[in-house]
Structure 1
Amino acid sequence: MKPLSKNMIQEIKQSKGRFIAIILIIMLGVLIFVGVKAAGPSLNDSLNKTVADKNLSDIQVLSTTGFDQTDIDLAKKVPGAQVEATKFKYVIGGKSKVAVALYGYDENAKQNQLIMRSGRLPKNSNEIVLDKNAKNKYDYKIGQKFKFASDAGLKKRSYKIVGFADSPQYIDNQSRGSTNIADGQVQLFAYVPQNQLDMAVGTMLNLHFNSLKDKNTFSKSYKKAVNKKLEILKQEFKGRANQRTNEVAGDYLQQVDSQKQQLEPLKAADPQAYSEQLAKLNSASIKVLKQSKTSYTWQTRKDLAGFSAYGESSDRIAAIANVFPVFFFLIAALITFTTITRMVEEARSEIGTFKALGYTKWEISRNYYYYAISAGLIGAMLGSVIGNETLPRIVLALYKQYIALDWVVDLQWIVILIATIFSLLATFGAAIIVIKKELVAGPAALMRPKSPKSAKKILLERIKPLWNHLSFNSKVSYRNLFRFKSRMFMTIIGIAGGTALILTGFGIQNSISASGNRQYSEIFDYQAVVKLNDNNNLSKVRKILNQNDQYLNSTVINSTTAKLKANKQQVNDVNVYTPKSIKDFDKYVHLGTDLQKHQVVLSKKTAQLLEVKKGDTVHLNVTNGKKVTVKVKAITQNFIGHFIYLSPDMYQTTFGKQASGNTLLLHLKSQTKGQRKNLANKLLDSGEVMGTSYTHDVLSTVSKMSSSLKPIILIFVLLSGILSFVVLYNLTNINVSERIRELSTIKVLGFYNNEVTMYIVRENIILTIVGIIVGYGVGNLLTAYILNQAATEQVIFPLTISWFGYLVATLLMIVFTAIVMLVTHKKLQHIDMIGALKSNE
């Protein structure tokens, strides 16, 4: 073996700690960079495989009067559409009398296939397959009976449970959507043979397109393609609603026409009686037409319960992956660069010797390149494999709120390539720069010790009263801090980076929780929303509420939804609130501005999406089709959803009529789940209420969003902590190796072991304190940036970091400093003083 190679192998053996430290730092950086980058795609790919295998519908249409063969034929005109009609309705069922999404099971159906978890599919007319949650949450077992309410519209009321299943239509185990029966929340889905539903035709139309099967269901290209298909479908159904209404009401209207003709002789004989009879018939006709009126609900996959939340969750991880791991990796690369630089500088005498012996620059530098490349590649390979194969699986395993997906974890080759390139830049790049710099000098200069940096007065020395009161050791520490500025900045960057990363982990979770908590404490101060029927008897509703022990008070508002347009931008599903009494309304919704004075107030996120500011106009298209233009006079803070508030005067001016009271906002005492359901059922049974929704359910959803990130945040915090420890340990080792002669000298002069240790550690303590403080600021900035990237169209995440996050970040840094101090103390006790002082350096 050539002397150069022998020397390099000896170098690695003698400094195994440094070589391993470089590999570890690179590995950690690459692990979290590749692992987190792979987590988002793995979540999406896993769901894509599940919904593709089970043929989840791309489009679903719900009809109030059902779909006949004409409707099915119209839907088939959409290019590539596979169409199936399904019987579907919301009913009350089970021992807890919960809202159930009930489907008619058709063994020939190809779309929305169930994922059986136990038991089997129904074969006989008295059998039912239940949601897996019926087993997990309500303790139902196979063989038991499941009973429906008498008004469920079924041929039987009781069915034998033969299986439990998951459905690709309900990917979130904790959310089954909302409805206008029971407490407003669907708790279960169920399938009975379709002939058991007392319906002539299906009420849900499912459309699936094979051409879209291989597309990522959350990608822009998929959404664009589906929206294009949906527009074609809507065009095919244009005018069909009125036609269908006439078909459904046709027989009855024919009878009415016949009865009107029979009344004709009465017209001359008794005009008054004729008018009365005719009015009754017309009133009955209007009522039937109203009940038979056909309306459609159009929905794509994003409208399914939990589907958008899943996509937003993977988007948040992707947003974190675009910032958090990159910052993490940059710190790792920076420290690695410093370590490699120090390694080459320590080998000055060997480089000078080999140069004097006649070795070429390439021969001398080659082995250092190999050293740097091998450390970089080993670290990058280990980090890539461990990160890509473990983190996505951990994330998938911890997403327990979603149905068990078919895991798809592909190697992210582009991300791995990027990570490898950056790893080599940090190791090989550092070696190239430093070797090139060192080889410029001649052999004699290289074999002589490098001139120490000259001491200069620091700013603290100029403050005489303070400087004169410092001890000798303190003075030395402060001077050494500023004497080796690069080491000082590297340590501060390392500590600040670790603190910032840990703080960011907690900040992301805290901020997501804060969006719901602040929305329903600072802005919304009510506990329930009651949607009233068109011709409601408000006094009857109030009477029911007054009989409830948890009810406190309420206010009446007009609530509707609208599309807002401005600056070529559009926001759908905007809530339009108009209070009956602004004075009362202020107790329920805190706008932070005077609605009476400003007339039109728009929520902040909506204004941002529309690129609107105070004084601009927006075009408002309400659900009844009326289009108006209003001027925004104020913008209010809002964290969840889109809102525009109109004063009663503005509503009357804009729409030409007074705002009708169709919604109640309720103040309630703390309620149990049973009490919420009981009140909602009583209000619904009154016939005056369409449905009741509770803020508790919204807060629960936001809480789930936050909880789903807890495992990921924990992984970030642990890896950030490990990186911080390795960085601090590595920098301390570099510090000790650079000053071995200095430390040996003071030990020879009679300093005790503790004093020698404190000579180094005192600097570490100062730098740790500075690094932690800097880390607080960087952590807040990093968290704010990630939250901005992770924000959805509906939600703003306010920057919130709890005291616990600061405490954990600070304590971890203190603990790491203490551990490094102990390790350094043991190491300094065994310094070879004579050997160090005899060496050239």
Structure 2
Amino acid sequence: MTPLDHKLLRDLWRMKGQAAAIGMVIAVGVMMLVMMTGLVTSLDETKRAYYERYRLADVFASVSRAPDSLLGRLAGIAGVASVEGRVQGGALIDLPDSALPVQAQAVSLPDRRDPRLNAVYLTDGRMIDNDKSDEILLLQAFADANSLRPGDSLTATMNGARRKFHIVGLAQSPEFLYTTAPGELLPDDARFGVIWMSNSALAAAYDMQGAFNEALLSLAHGASEPAVLDAVDRLLDSYGGTGAYPLSEQTSNRFVSEETNGLRAAATGVPPIFLAVAAFLLYIVISRMVQSERSQIGLMKAFGYTNAEVGAHYFKLVLAIAIGGALLGCLMGIAGGRAMIQVYTAYFKFPFLVFQLEPSSFVIGVGVSILSASAGGLFVLRQVFTLTPASAMRPPAPPDFSRTGRIGRSLNRILDQPSRMVLRRITRQPGRMAGSVIGIAAGMALSVAMLTLFEGFNRTIDLTFNVVDRSDVTVSFTHAAPDTTIYELKRLPGVLLVEPVRIVPAVLHSGLYSYRGAINGLTQAPRLNRAIDQGLAPIPLPKEGVTLASALADILHVRAGDTLTVEVRQGRQPVLKLPVAGIATSLLGSPAYMNLTALNRALREPNRVSGAYLSIDSNQSEAIYQTLQDMPSVAGVSLKADARNAFRTVMNQGAGAIRYVMGAVAFIITFGIVYNAARIAYAERERDLASLRVIGFTKGEAAFVLLGELGIVTLIAIPLGSMLGYYISFGVAAGFSTDLYQIPAVFHPSSYGTAAVVVIGAAVASGWLVKRDIDRADLISALKTRD
């Protein structure tokens, strides 16, 4: 080991606190990269294996009724590998502990053979006996939420008839990773279930003997998906086909893909922020170390060491910290990834887990951390190369504290000597102070951004269910019913207000861009479920045309005044040409709004509604629920309280849970930055503080000279960090927003106050650790510095 390597080890030990803090910043950045990349890879591989093993279809096509003989023609379409026809329909389940009927989807399984497509994974019990029409499989998540087990019985209403079924098994399916009731946006395991029955039994229940109402297709390798979709639509059009759509637009798969894409975007955008902060800190630390070791650099060059050798010595110091932090980050990323993947597995209801780390993430993490740290170190090495032995061994000129200006002279009359030392240090070395201020401000900005994100999630829930949705109950109908149904609801005892709505499933086209969603027809001045923009102003609904959410307008690449082609996927399935009347930033999802009367007029179906929002007297809720349950036109009833709980679950799990990890990381970064600022200041002034002790200053007075500087720097950094956090918050909020919900940047005073408390707390803790070193300092060793 060379003498320079011995010096390197001594330097690392001497600055172990700073090295550990900087290494932790690097480790956190690498951890986020490895963890998020590992999560994305694991979710992608688990989803791919699950889809492949249980043969999830590539194309879904619903029809009103088509004969089984048509399946052969579908199989003959070029590019189609296999076809499965099945029966599916809506159902209402009666639970003994619930006054409301629970919506469910009934799905058929082939008689006496395994499904060619969309097989189920049996988690408990046994498969159904095809000779017994009352045996069913139940979705495991729904069964767990309602404490149902194999051997239990339940009553369900199918096609207007009430039937009793026996649960013989629980199952999962790749088709139902994310389950929502028809017409609803959010999943709720307790309020929506899936029932699997034999094809013969379900066909008899829905009068579908010898027919199917949904076709599933898998595609051969290299098949043209658009061509297959067009061919399927042409074949099924005369049988009431509602339009074939690919797996990418299937609700469950789409939600899982969006969550994964959100993680992928975070894995790309978040770690560089932490690594940039680490590079900045390394630059400050190494730069000030070079300045404090001028004489040592001169001696090394005088003894014959070249510029390259001396520069390599300090560069090794940078690399040692960067590599140590990167390796620690890799280990933390593996541990964090293993913990978080369990959360995602339960959230997405995968029956198994394919945990896989992405090797490239380790290479990228270590490589990027070294490069970012080296970027800061290279700027410092220029100082090493420019120093000659003669100039380096000459001590730098002492700072001139005599010209403090008029303000300084005025303050000198009222400040004691330690306070004047603090003031002089700040006014005469503004560059160094600015570096500390910027570093602490960056840490506070991260904390402000994450706290603002937390407030944004809470604000979204509050606005959605207290400002947008002010109803108590949502009722959906089995079909587009006449508006006389609304009058029937108004006459129910305990119903205070009824507001109609019509939701029409449709595919919106604009040139090459399309979106499968729905048109929401609202009354002119809705009171119970309102269209509200981010400014909490009502979104106007013109008498003609459609109003799009800004997120949807971006997907379709349209502006106000453009014309949309709308393919209605309901009833007669007309194709409409609708002008874009306006674009607004909505609070929830990516909706398209229309005036209810205008929507019915465009569909040529006047006075039709698909559901209603109710405000009710809670004292009569049980009677109202029972009446709604007995109405044959009612397909489902949901409570706002249940929807609120479901929405909170969605935002607190999955990708939403990552915000807690990022919040903890932001606080760690903040402490690391403040602690580094304190350690750097102490390293620079160690001899000065020892001199003060020798001439009679107490430990407290000597510590005040240093900690007072830290306190002023921290106080200056707080408003700057608040301003930086304001702008960062918009980017963070946008990163967590999805098609399902938009997270606003909510600037609540408590967010800034909490972030300031975190920074001040970090300064106090750092100051205490540094003061402990000041009190323990060996005065003789500190004073043995050559001037």
TM range (shorter): 0.7 to 0.9
Q: CA deviation at 1:721?
A: 2.1
Shift of 1:707: 0.7
CA distance in structure 1 between the aligned counterparts of 2:29 and 2:479, rounded to whole angstroms: 60
Letter of the 1:158 partner, please give it.
Answer: F
CA positional deviation for 1:716 = 1.7
Partner residue in 2 for 1:247: none
Counterpart Cα distance in 1 of 2:108 and 2:358: 42
**2:498 corresponding residue in structure 1:** 554
In the alignment, structure 1 residue 494 sits paired with structure 2 residue 498: no
CA pair 166-21 structure 1, distance change in 2 beyond 3 A? same
Q: Label 1:427 to 1:603 Cα distance change in 2 as closer, same or farther (>3 A).
A: closer
Q: For each residue in 1:134-191, what CA deviation from the matched residue of structure 2 results, as whole angstroms up to 9, or x when unmatched?
A: 542222233333444486779x8433x332222111113xx343279xx999622233
Q: If you compute each CA radius of gyration, which structure gives the higher value, 1 or 2?
A: 1
Match of 1:208 in 2: 218
Sort the Cα spacing of 1:601 and 1:525 in 2 relative to 1 into closer, same or farther, 3 A. farther
1:79 Cα offset (Å) = 0.5
Change (3 A) 1:44 1:800: farther
Equivalent in the alignment of 1:642: 591
Which residue of 396, 413, 430 maps to 2:341? 396
Query: Contact (CA 8 Å) 2:564, 2:577: kept in 1 or not?
Result: yes
Q: Which amino acid aligns with 2:145?
A: K
The match for 2:674 is 728
Match of 1:269 in 2: none
Shift of 1:787: 2.8
Label 1:667 to 1:773 Cα distance change in 2 as closer, same or farther (>3 A): farther
Which of 103, 106, 114 does residue 107 from structure 2 map onto? 103
Quote the residue 2:57 is aligned against.
Answer: 57
2:6 corresponds to which residue?
6
Deviation at 1:206, TM superposition (A): 1.6
Q: In structure 1, give the amino acid aligned to 2:144.
A: N
Q: 1:111 to 1:71 in 2, by over 3 A?
A: closer
Per-residue deviation at 1:828? 0.8
8 Å contact 1:72–1:85 — kept in the other structure?
A: no
Are residue 235 (structure 1) and residue 241 (structure 2) matched?
Answer: no
Select the residue among 591, 599, 609 that pairs with 1:662: 609
Query: Could you state the TM-score of these two structures normalised by the residue count of structure 2?
Result: 0.85
**Is the 2:22–2:672 Cα contact (8 Å) retained in structure 1?**
no
Q: Is the 8 A contact 2:142 2:193 kept in 1?
A: yes
In structure 1, the partner of 2:197 is 192
Q: Which whole-Å deviations, capped at 9, do the CAs of 1:707-763 have from their partners, x for residues lacking one?
A: 114542222222222222222222211111111222122222322211211211122
| 1:741 paired to 2:741 | no
In the aligned structure 2, how far is the partner of 1:122 from the partner of 1:574? 36
Give the structure 2 partner of residue 83 of structure 1.
83
Could you say which residue in structure 1 is the equivalent of 2:576? 627
Kindly tell me: are residues 157 and 299 of structure 1, through their superposed partners in 2, closer, same or farther at Cα, counting changes over 3 Å? farther
- Rounded to whole Å, the distance in 2 between the matches of 1:559 and 1:16 is 63
Whole-angstrom CA distance in 2 between matches of 1:791 and 1:537: 37
Q: Is 2:400 the counterpart of 1:454? A: yes
1:73-115 CA-to-partner distances (Å, cap 9, x unmatched) read: 3244140422112233333345445333223333322322222
Aligned equivalents of 1:184 and 1:353: distance in 2? 73
- For 1:339, what is the secondary structure of its paired residue? helix
- Cα–Cα, structure 1 residues 436 and 165, in superposed 2: closer, same or farther, change >3 Å? same
CA distance in 1, matches of 2:648, 2:79: 42
Distance 1:54 1:45 in 2: 14
Q: In the alignment, is the contact (CA less than 8 A) between 1:54 and 1:113 conserved in 2?
A: yes
Q: In the superposition, relative to structure 1, how do residues 618 and 210 fare at CA in structure 2: closer, same or farther (>3 Å)? A: closer
1:417 aligns with 2:427: no
Q: Would the aligned equivalents of 1:84 and 1:206 in 2 still touch at CA under 8 Å?
A: yes
Which residue does the alignment assign to 1:250?
Answer: none
Matched residue SS, 1:497 = helix
Change (3 A) 1:647 1:171: closer
Give distance in 2, aligned partners of 1:184 and 1:822.
Answer: 51
SS for the counterpart of 1:739 is helix
Task: Point out the more displaced range, 696-705 or 99-108.
Answer: 696-705
SS at 1:238 equivalent: helix
CA distance in structure 2 between the aligned counterparts of 1:670 and 1:320, rounded to whole angstroms: 45
Residue by residue over 1:479-518, the C-alpha shift from the partner in whole angstroms, topping out at 9 and shown as x without a partner, is 3124333432332233222222233333334424534542
Check if 1:345 corresponds to 2:291: yes
Correspondence for 2:151: 143
Q: Which residue does 1:784 correspond to in 2?
A: 730
Whether the 8 Å contact between 2:730 and 2:745 is mirrored in structure 1 is: yes
Are residues 554 and 516 of structure 1, via their aligned partners in 2, closer, same or farther at CA, if it must alter by over 3 Å? same
Residue of structure 1 aligned with 2:519, choices 575, 591, 606: 575
Q: 1:312 aligns with which of 258, 261, 274?
A: 258
Deviations 1:643-698 (A, max 9, x none): 333485x779x8597952425643414869x959x857744643455655665565
d(CA) in 1 for partners of 2:444, 2:541: 48
The change in CA–CA distance for 1:810 and 1:318 in structure 2 (over 3 A counts) is farther
Q: Deviations over 1:533-588 (max 9, x none)?
A: 77856456534443243x21124466545555568655543525363xx4x54675
CA distance in 1, matches of 2:36, 2:352: 19
Tell me how far apart the structure 2 counterparts of residues 39 and 656 of structure 1 sit (CA, whole Å).
45
1:168 corresponds in structure 2 to 174
Deviation at 1:827, TM superposition (A): 0.9
Among 301, 313, 322, the alignment partner of 2:247 is 301
1:589 matched to 2:530: yes
Deviation at 1:318, TM superposition (A): 2.9
Structure 1 residue 465 displacement after superposition: 6.2
SS of corresponding position for 1:798? coil
Q: Which amino acid aligns with 1:666?
A: Y
Q: Which one of the candidate residues 334, 354, 367 is aligned to 2:300?
A: 354
Query: Does the residue aligned with 1:140 lie in a helix, a strand or coil?
Result: coil
State the one-letter code of the partner of 2:165: S
In 2, the alpha carbon distance for the partners of 1:535 and 1:102 equals 21
Query: What is the distance in 1 between the residues matched to 2:553 and 2:284?
Result: 47
2:182 equivalent in structure 1:
178
Shift of 1:304: 4.3
Question: 2: CA distance between counterparts of 1:628 and 1:148?
Answer: 41
1:23-62 aligned within 5 A = 23-62=23-62
5 Å matches for 1:318-333?
318-333=264-279
Taking structure 1 as the reference length, the TM-score comes to 0.80
**Larger deviation, residues 808-817 vs 693-702:** 693-702
Which residue pairs with 1:118 in the alignment? Answer: 124
Query: 1:332 offset after TM fit, Å?
Result: 1.6
Q: Which of 368, 372, 375 matches 2:314?
A: 368
Q: Say if 1:512 and 1:45 are closer, same or farther in 2 by CA, change over 3 A.
A: farther
Q: Secondary structure at the match of 2:776?
A: coil
2:452 equivalent among 482, 504, 507: 507
Secondary structure of 2:85's match?
strand
Q: Report the Cα distance in structure 1 between the residues aligned to 2:603 and 2:124, rounded to whole angstroms.
A: 59
RMSD over aligned Cα, in angstroms?
3.8
Q: 1:164/1:622 Cα in 2 relative to 1: closer, same or farther (>3 Å)? A: closer
Task: Kindly indicate whether the alpha-carbon contact (under 8 Å) linking 1:341 and 1:430 is maintained by their aligned counterparts in 2.
Answer: no
Contact 1:377-1:420 within 8 A present in 2 as well: yes
Point out where structure 2 has 5 or more consecutive residues left out of the alignment: none
SS at match of 2:680: helix
Residue identity matched to 1:705: V
Q: For 1:267-300, what per-residue CA distance to the aligned partner results, in whole angstroms no more than 9, with x for missing partners?
A: xxxxxxxxxxxxxxxxxxxxxxxxxxx3435344
SS of the residue corresponding to residue 449 of structure 1 reads coil
